[in-house]
Amino acid sequence: MTCFQSEDITVAPKPSGSTVPFEATRVPASDGGPSQGEVGRWRAFALLVVAFFMTVVDLTIVNVALPTIGVKLHFPEIDLQWVVTAYGLTFGGFLLLGGRAADLLGRRRLLMIGLAIFTAASLACGLAASDSLLIVMRAAQGFGAALVLPSALSIVMNMFPEGAERNKALGIWGAVGALGATVGVMAGGLLTRYAGWEYIFYLNVPVGALALGLAPRVVPESRLRTGSRRFDALGATSITGALVLFVYAISQAPQVGWGTARTVAMLSAAAALVVTFLVVESRAEAPLLPLRLFRLSTVAGSNAVGFLLGASFFAFIFVGTLYMQQVLGYSALKTGFAWLAASLTSLTFAGLSQTLVTKTSAKAVMAIGMALIGTGILWATQVPSDGNFWHNLAGPFFVGGAGTAFAFIPVSIGALAGVTERDGGVASGLLNTSQQLGGAIGVAIASTVAASRFHLLVHHGYGTASALTGGFQWALWVCGVTGLAAVPVTLVLVRRAEMSKAIAQSRDASVPTVA
């Protein structure tokens, strides 16, 4: 998880004869809503944490239920990954737009709109009677989450001044994020086993409705006080459209053919939309993503690593879950407990990672973390069709879990290295976007590789278990190589001096980096 830093500013006119184009003047964060005493602030914070927790849980809660969902709704094997990918694409694709809209239109207002969309979409997911409806509603969930997360975190940053209180709040925020990922895996297994897969979505409904009802009473409203209310809707829709087309093209290519007119046309359209996005961002008055950020080598490198981290490890969770349930015959509950090996290892090494980042080289810690992730996944490529957890999965899970602890923290620091206060919010949002989109695209590619290999092996006379295992092994090779590819990216693009300066500035400001 990363932090959106948003400052309320008003633009003062340029003094006569001044060479400075304008100066930013701070104004009070709150312009309406409940008064915020000490108790009121922490009550509002508790509600915002609950909203954040729901969006994090939904990133992982669905994974262990995928095989059950596939059977109940008659999902084609190649399309099952869309239950995960649809959420990640809209979540990542609209995060930056959600943050910008919250700043301009009102953070509490956008929080409530996001909660309403997320809650209604969750109910629709549980009621879905077809695979198409479930995928559409998962996309709607992701869009709601893209409004909730930046709005909630912007409110937190405005409620707590820099120093000990903000430090405490962000520490809790980060811990809840880590807990949400673990709880998602466990809750998915428990609910699927004892209640039914629908309840992984129904769980959000009463929680979301309660949060929506309480928000006007306890959460303060705030927005940027500026004369301009423009936001870059064209930029958001063009880049999200490009990603959806790209993922859909590669997921369908094994069935329709890589060289067919349909596949080539969709990939060409995706490339054209990416070009459109770059043109729009270079000319927009208020761009969704200021391209000047990519002139900072460490920022660009850290986002590239964040993308590869999501593409490798999130896809590893997807492939590993399917292997355990479809090949080894694990129940959803047993699969959830198996993933605890990676989650608890990550939590165990988080403190050591923070110490190494601040006392040694954050760049080296980042490279080591990605090397561990890649190595752990490549170790998992050796899984057999008659494997078991302790002999074949425990080692890769422990190594990969340790890698995430060493990778996430320095990636978060590097994403803000050298960024001005004006761009702090969008730089933090960019990292979240990179990780979510990396995960969505990584899952799509891994699913496509596994399906292609599976059909080839079946065609050559392999049994179902052997063919499935062969497909998953190839997908894991892709995930592992993707993780290792982040090591040279780190060594080439990330600057050690910039990382050290960012750590020093974060320490001086008493604002922790939340991983």
Better-predicted residue by pLDDT, 253 or 472: 472
Return the domain boundaries, the chain.
1-7+33-222, 232-287, 289-515
Hey, what are 69's tokens?
A: 């969902």
Q: pLDDT value at position 269?
A: 95
Question: Nearest to residue 306, comparing CAs of 400, 210, 436?
Answer: 436
Dist. CA 246–CA 85, nearest whole Å = 12
Mean pLDDT of the region 185-195: 88
Q: In angstroms, what CA-CA distances link 389 with 281, 316, 344, 468?
A: 48, 15, 16, 17
Question: Nearest to residue 84, comparing CAs of 446, 471, 468, 416?
Answer: 446
Topology classification of domain 1-7+33-222: Growth Hormone; Chain: A; (1.20.1250)
Q: pLDDT value at position 501?
A: 74
What is the tens place of the pLDDT at every residue in 214-233?
999 999 887 766 555 566 77
**pLDDT classification of 51: cutoffs 50, 70, 90:** very high
Q: Do 1-7+33-222 and 289-515 fold alike per CATH?
A: yes
Cβ neighbour number for residue 203 with a 10 Å cutoff: 19
Dist. CA 204–CA 140, nearest whole Å = 14
Q: pLDDT value at position 150?
A: 86
Dist. CA 123–CA 140, nearest whole Å = 11
Percent of the chain with pLDDT over 70: 85
Better-predicted residue by pLDDT, 276 or 92: 276
Highest averaged pLDDT of the listed ranges 74-88, 218-232, 455-469: 455-469
Q: pLDDT value at position 228?
A: 56
Cβ atoms of 400 and 372 within 8 Å: the answer is: yes
What rounded mean pLDDT belongs to the chain?
Answer: 83
Q: pLDDT value at position 311?
A: 94
Better-predicted residue by pLDDT, 56 or 317: 317
Dist. CA 278–CA 297, nearest whole Å = 18
What is the tens place of the pLDDT at every residue in 14-27?
333 333 332 333 33
CATH of domain 289-515: 1.20.1250.20
Q: At residue 503, does pLDDT exceed 80?
A: no
Cβ atoms of 6 and 130 within 8 Å: the answer is: no
Which of 142-156, 180-194, 223-237, 297-311 is least confident?
Answer: 223-237
Q: pLDDT value at position 162?
A: 62
Q: In angstroms, what CA-CA distances link 106 with 40, 76, 188, 399?
A: 19, 42, 34, 43
